[in-house]
Structures are given as structure tokens and as C-alpha cells.
A and B are shown apart, each in its own frame.
Chain A
């Protein structure tokens, strides 16, 4: 079974600074998807960024980028120019490509990010 580990329960960053959230995962599959979701106090999960394992190029979405290290099974999220609206819980998630694992997301326990004005 796949597992996702987020080792930082809480992080804080000064407004306009850069922060990196860590995520590691365990899988025996060679191809899969990885995601970062944001959950603000409103509770609604919002997709921040996704990465296909077969792509070596790291995904970027505006101020959000990932550092995907497939051999190390590491998938960190970098937030640049942090804004007050970035404050939220961030979840790393895994989804397989084929079979039963392709239907479900496996989440880590989350990292609570605080942005200090």
C-alpha cells in the first residue's frame, strides 16, 4: 500500500518570503501522480499543483513550484512571495495510474502554514 508522509506539522513564513513544505511517499509503482492540495479554514480542498511521475520537469503554477525527486521519493512544495491568503493546511497526495490505486487519493497528515505579516 502507498503511504504519504509529511514530517512538518506546522510551518511559518514571513509575508513575501519563500517557504518549502516537505513530503515523502512510498510506492512500488513506477508511474503515478502527485498532488499538493490547500485546505483553508473554509474547509474546501483546492488543488494547488500536480506532477506526473514520468515527467522529469518539475511542475510550476505561478508562485508555486515543486521539487520532485523520484529516486528519493520526495515531493516538496515551494511557495514564493508568500501572501496572507496562503495561510492554510497543505496536504500532499498520491494517486496511482492503473488498477484500484487509480481511483483514490492517498493523503499525508498535512502541514499547517501560517503567514506572518
Chain B
């Protein structure tokens, strides 16, 4: 049973560019959350997708957008990249339950030059 997978592993972009990160949830999971983890910090919640809709959003600008597909996989898009967007982007999947335990992928390391 494959866990949460993310692609690509690493990515280098320049300021002003746009980037798309991808996530495939754990088998049987229908909910995907995205987190940004800056160097030396804990992850910060970006948003969560359920039933192809953004269900909840953290304190991130509109440059950050997402999408969830019918097969529950998800994309995170970031427009007009800033140097401060350099971080590890983590995807987590879950199912509706009392615990709603989130299973994390290995992340995508984004570097903005």
C-alpha cells in the first residue's frame, strides 16, 4: 500500500515564476491538506481540499491556489514566486474520522532564486 507521494522532490525557480506541486494521497483517503515548512520552523497550514472543494484555508495570500481531482490527487500552485516562498511543501492525506489522522508525504523542496 503506497503512502502519500509527492512530486517533484526538489524544484528550483526564479522570482516571478509560477510553480505546480503534486500530491497523491494514501489509498482510501479522500482529503488532502497542504503545509508550508520554512527552514527551522514547524509546518504552517495552507489549505485543505475535500470533495474537490477548498474546505479551509490558512493565512496565505491568493497567490497560493490548489485543486483536487476526482481521483483525490491534488495540486498546489504558487504564482509570482517570492524569495520567501522557498520552503518544504508537505502534503497530508486523511479520511473523515474522529481522529482525522493526517499522513504526510516526503515533501517537495522549493528553492526560489
Contacts and interface: CB of A to CB of B under 8 A. Distances in A.
Given A44-B106, A103-B33, A95 B100 contact: yes
Nearest to A106: B45
B4 to A, nearest CB: 9
A105 B99 contact: no
A45 B104 contact: yes
Interface residues of A, number: 23
A102 B44 CA distance: 15
Contacts of A109: 40-42
Contacts of B105: 44
B48 A45 contact: no
Interface in B59-91: 88, 90
Interface residues of B, number: 25
A64 interface: no
Contacts of A103: 33, 48, 55-56
Contacts of A42: 106
A83 B111 CA distance: 33
Contact of B43 (A33, A102, A105): A105
B100 A91 contact: no
B7 interface: no
A108 B41 CA distance: 8
8 contacts: A47-B103, A103-B33, A103-B48, A103-B55, A104-B58, A105-B35, A105-B92, A107-B44
Interface of B: 33, 35, 40-45, 48, 55-56, 58, 88, 90, 92, 99-107, 109
